[in-house]
């Protein structure tokens, strides 16, 4: 693996740019076996419920994957922070999907013991085949993202989402829950993901510098999303906090009016993972009327251009069943650019470690 910075200013910049290639490698590696053997190779029964476990960005990736399984296959799930598992009841017989980039996070390994103690079978999604998690899980899905040096996870999030998506499509296709032709179509759709990520990098590079100045002046940020977009909004807020040391909140768009709207005043940055729906449009109109600075990230035809001035990062959303995966690229770039503008060390944020091996 190439561990040099090359011409990049920092590893995070390099790892963001690598995402289309990471996606391409992962999809090429697995797509041939999705409908012929990936899920069967795990030798596990088709689950009636899934428990997603992880920390930080890995937990968000797990929520995306489980949400996809619930939407395409009607298999319900619960997502639990690894550190909370001991004190959280789990559904008996639930399949545990445990995600960890490093596979060595102490909270995750403790959770693994608890899961095994309760009789749950564990599918691990990790970037490290030699990790304790990979060795101890019943089945392992590798992310193939290559080494990630930046403390804040970027390319491994995309790799976990896509690796998990391969498992989901395999489970549904091989078990007959999704009929063969449809499953084949979904697998073929994955080929378009690398281009969509590359397009998102280009669109973000062009548009984000225009909002940067407004963003640096704020002391706090609100992120909004709906449905699967909600998880991406959470991930965007997490990246911004990690890198800039500023406060960020993430909410389901419809919940804003039930409390957090009180935070919004003239100039408050509101970053929206925009699904283009009428309900999202209504929320944007509401914060916009209070003078919020809106940055919309979504497909062509999102709500924001209709409102006039605010900035939109237009994304290619051709693989719509997958949810707004490409939005994460824009969210990562917003967090990084802002951190760089504020003089932060984006590869080594204060107080944080790449792999936390204490509980
Ligand atoms: C640390 C890192 C986070 C990461 C989390 C989980 O806190 O700073 O970026 O998401 O650990 O790491 P893992 O290796 O388990 O995915």
Cα dist. 307→16, 214, 218, 281, 356 in Å?
A: 30, 19, 22, 9, 44
Measured in Å, residue 55 CA sits from the centre of ligand 1 at: 6
Measured in Å, residue 229 CA sits from the centre of ligand 1 at: 21
Going by C-alpha positions, the residue among 264, 205, 164 that lies closest to residue 17 is 205
Q: Is 58 in the pocket of ligand 1 (CB under 6 A)?
A: yes
Site of tokens 């090359």: 6
Neighbour tally for 11: CB within 10 Å: 22
Going by C-alpha positions, the residue among 326, 21, 16 that lies closest to residue 152 is 16
Q: Is 106 in the pocket of ligand 1 (CB under 6 A)?
A: no
Rounded Cα distance between 186 and 198, Å, is 20
Indicate which atom in ligand 1 lies nearest the CA of residue 56.
10
Nearest CA to ligand 1 atom 9: 152
Measured in Å, residue 143 CA sits from the centre of ligand 1 at: 15
Q: Is 169 in the pocket of ligand 1 (CB under 6 A)?
A: no
Indicate which atom in ligand 1 lies nearest the CA of residue 126.
16
- 78 phi/psi in degrees, rounded to 5: -130, 140
3-state secondary structure the chain: CCCCCCCCCCHHHHHHHCHHHHHHHHHHHHHHHHCCCHHHHHCCCCCCCEEEEECHHHHHHHHHHHHHHHHHHCCCEEEEEHHHHHHCCCCCCCEEEEEECCCCCHHHHHHHHHHHHCCCCEEEEECCCCCHHHHHCCEEEECCCCCCCCCCCCHHHHHHHHHHHHHHHHHHHHHCCCCHHHHHHHHHHHHHHHHHHHHHHHHHHHHHHHHHHHHHHCCEEEEEECCHHHHHHHHHHHHHHHHHCCEEEEEEHHHHHHCHHHHCCCCCEEEEEECCCHHHHHHHHHHHHCCCEEEEEEECCCHHHHCCCCEEEEECCCCHHHCCCCHHHHHHHHHHHHHHHCCCCCCCCCCCCCCCCCC
Rounded Cα distance between 54 and 99, Å, is 5
Record the tokens describing residue 82, joined without a space. 């690894």
Q: Is 332 in the pocket of ligand 1 (CB under 6 A)?
A: no
Q: Is 102 in the pocket of ligand 1 (CB under 6 A)?
A: yes
Rounded Cα distance between 84 and 180, Å, is 38
Query: Which of 12, 101, 235, when mutated, tests ligand 1's pocket best, judged by the most ligand atoms within 8 Å of its CB?
Result: 101
Q: Is 212 in the pocket of ligand 1 (CB under 6 A)?
A: no
Rounded Cα distance between 183 and 114, Å, is 34
Structure confidence at residue 69 (pLDDT): 97
Rounded Cα distance between 143 and 148, Å, is 12
The answer to whether the pTM exceeds 0.90 is: yes
Q: Is 126 in the pocket of ligand 1 (CB under 6 A)?
A: no
Indicate which atom in ligand 1 lies nearest the CA of residue 152.
9
Rounded Cα distance between 23 and 228, Å, is 19
Structure confidence at residue 309 (pLDDT): 41
Structure confidence at residue 270 (pLDDT): 94
List the pLDDT tens digit at each of the 359 positions of the chain. 678 999 999 999 999 999 999 999 999 999 999 998 999 999 999 999 999 999 999 999 999 999 999 999 999 999 999 999 999 999 999 999 999 999 999 999 999 999 999 999 999 999 999 999 999 999 999 999 999 988 899 999 999 999 999 999 999 999 999 999 999 999 999 999 999 999 999 988 888 888 788 889 898 999 999 999 999 999 999 999 999 999 999 999 999 999 999 999 999 999 999 988 889 989 999 999 999 988 888 876 565 544 444 566 777 766 889 999 999 999 999 999 999 999 999 999 998 888 888 88
Nearest CA to ligand 1 atom 4: 56
Structure confidence at residue 300 (pLDDT): 65
């Amino acid at each position: 693996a190439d561990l040099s910075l090359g011409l990049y200013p920092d590893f995070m910049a390099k790892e963001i740019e690598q995402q289309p290639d990471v996606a391409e490698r992962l999809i090429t590696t697995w797509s041939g076996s999705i409908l012929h053997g990936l899920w069967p190779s795990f030798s596990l029964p088709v689950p009636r419920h899934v428990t997603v476990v992880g920390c930080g960005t890995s937990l968000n990736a797990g929520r995306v994957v489980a949400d996809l399984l619930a939407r395409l296959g009607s298999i319900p799930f619960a997502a639990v922070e690894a550190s909370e598992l001991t004190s959280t009841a789990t559904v008996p017989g639930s399949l545990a999907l445990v995600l960890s980039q490093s596979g060595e996070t102490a909270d995750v390994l403790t959770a693994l013991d608890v899961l095994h103690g309760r009789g749950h079978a564990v599918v691990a999604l990790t970037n490290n085949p030699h990790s304790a998690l990979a060795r101890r899980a019943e089945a392992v899905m590798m992310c193939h993202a290559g080494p990630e040096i930046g403390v804040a996870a970027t390319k491994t999030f995309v790799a976990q989402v896509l690796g998990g998506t391969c498992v989901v499509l395999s489970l549904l296709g091989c078990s007959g829950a999704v009929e063969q032709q449809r499953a084949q179509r979904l697998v073929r759709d994955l080929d378009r993901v690398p281009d969509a990520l590359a397009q998102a990098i280009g669109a973000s590079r062009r548009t984000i510098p225009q909002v940067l100045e407004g963003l640096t002046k704020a002391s706090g940020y609100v992120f909004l999303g709906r449905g699967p977009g909600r998880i991406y909004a959470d991930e965007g807020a997490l990246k911004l906090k990690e890198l800039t040391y500023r406060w960020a909140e993430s909410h389901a768009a419809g919940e804003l009016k039930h409390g957090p709207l009180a935070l919004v005043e003239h100039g408050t940055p509101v970053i929206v993972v925009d699904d283009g729906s009428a309900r999202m449009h209504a929320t944007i109109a509401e914060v916009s009327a209070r003078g919020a600075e809106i940055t919309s990230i979504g497909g062509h035809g999102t709500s924001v251009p209709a409102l006039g001035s605010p900035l939109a990062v237009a994304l290619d959303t051709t693989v719509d069943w997958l949810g707004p995966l490409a939005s994460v690229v824009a969210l990562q770039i917003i967090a990084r650019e802002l951190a760089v503008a504020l003089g932060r060390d984006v590869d080594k944020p204060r107080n944080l470690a790449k792999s936390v091996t204490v509980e």
